[in-house]
Amino acid sequence: MEILLIILVPLILWISSIYMLSDWNKFKLFFVTNGIVIITYVLFLIYGKSIWGHDEYGLGFLFRLAVCLLVHVLIVFVFAIIKNRQLKK
């Protein structure tokens, strides 16, 4: 059940953010920039040297990846709420 929540909560927040920002005139630039940032996160976590040492089963990597993506989605969601309120004014 928890794994389902780890996948669904960021997905729902991401879709909500897209919906809230869809009327913004810089939406495409924002969407592309966030895609590049997420790809950079993932590439750094996969190919970067780990400061946490040996991770035999890769569970630490999966946790760091999930936390990194969740934090990014939460930051974008908060930004989307703020920007949506500014656009409505």
pTM metric for this prediction: 0.81
Q: pLDDT tens, 66-78?
A: 888 889 999 999 9
Q: pLDDT tens, 12-49?
A: 999 999 999 998 999 999 999 999 999 998 888 888 76
Encoded tokens for 35:
């895609």
Domain residues for 57? 2-88
**Rounded Cα distance, 30 and 41, in Å:** 16
User: What is the pLDDT at residue 45?
Assistant: 82
Whether residue 6 has pLDDT greater than 80: no
**Rounded Cα distance, 89 and 84, in Å:** 9
Whether residue 62 has pLDDT greater than 90: no
Number of domains in the chain: 1
Angle between helices 27-47 and 59-88 (to 10 degrees): 170
